Amino acid sequence: MLPGLILILLTLASCALFVIRPVWFPLAVTPDALAFDRQFLRTLWISGLLFIALQLLLAWSVLRKRTNSPGSRSNGHFRLEASWTALAVVLFLTLSITGSRSWAKVAVTAPEKETIEVYAHQFAWHFRYTGPDGKFGVTGPKFISDAGGNPFGIDPDDKAGRDDIVSATLRIPAGREVLLLLHSRDVIHDFFVRELRTKQDIVPGMEIPLNIRVDRPGTYEIACAELCGLGHSQMRGVLLAMDPNDYAAWKRAQETQR
């Protein structure tokens, strides 16, 4: 009797956590983040309802069994087992397909929009914008100088690099598509912003594109989500989604400073 009641209590307590939601996701600020949340809730509802049904079934069979009864023997039921296995496969594949559709939209969208280079290194973030020429200058490891204000290693002799803007804050125009090109100087890092519901590994030697569109102006934390060394926990950055006019004004101000 008692184990059955404990099972029912545990099931109700688990459900209460999702109904009351003492801890939940931060606000989703991109259309992709909203799509991920929808997919998450879809999966949660299906698996949650199945969980409740199966726990109650288990509790019922525990409660029904009398302590001193000999119990019935069972040699299995092939058709029943085959059908719930098939059902689980269909459910899993359906959720995978709908989930991969949401993900595909993030990784494969056409570029030709504001392009910003993201440069991760132990243990900081830097961001580079093109100047009025619309071109990024050539970079090389021998030009890297954190103390000298050249964390990207922009070649000082390359004309295209002279107007590049380097910033420690990732400023983007709100409501516009932005293409981030992710680079790492040393080890694997991971670009993670909770409100974007996006985590993207940054692998040294690779340029990894990431499309984002933040609809809600605001300040969001960028965290490194890949253990990258002793200072990993301090590897934080700021994503600032600005009103497009303010963003344009900021860029112009940077350009005139050079």
Rg over alpha carbons for the chain, rounded to the nearest Å, is 26
* Residue entry with tokens 């440069």: 119
Per CB under 5 A, 228 contacts Cu ion: yes
Per CB under 5 A, 235 contacts Cu ion: yes
Cβ distance to Cu ion smaller for residue 189 or 197: 189
Per CB under 5 A, 182 contacts Cu ion: no
How far apart, in Å, are the Cα atoms of 146 and each of 142, 239, 243?
12, 21, 30
Min dist CB 72 to Cu ion, Å, is: 58
Min dist CB 224 to Cu ion, Å, is: 3
Cβ distance to Cu ion smaller for residue 20 or 230: 230
The closest alpha carbon to 31, from 176, 200, 244, 215, belongs to: 215
Stretch that binds Cu ion, among 83-91, 102-110, 146-154, 232-240 (CB under 5 A): 232-240
Min dist CB 207 to Cu ion, Å, is: 17
Cβ distance to Cu ion smaller for residue 13 or 230: 230
Cβ distance to Cu ion smaller for residue 98 or 122: 122
Min dist CB 127 to Cu ion, Å, is: 15
Min dist CB 228 to Cu ion, Å, is: 3
Min dist CB 196 to Cu ion, Å, is: 17
Cβ distance to Cu ion smaller for residue 33 or 225: 225
Stretch that binds Cu ion, among 66-74, 135-143, 159-167, 184-192 (CB under 5 A): 184-192
Binding mask 188-227 for Cu ion (x = CB under 5 A): -x----------------------------------x---
**Binding footprint of Cu ion, residue count (CB under 5 A):** 4
Question: What residues line the site for Cu ion (CB under 5 A)?
Answer: 189, 224, 228, 235
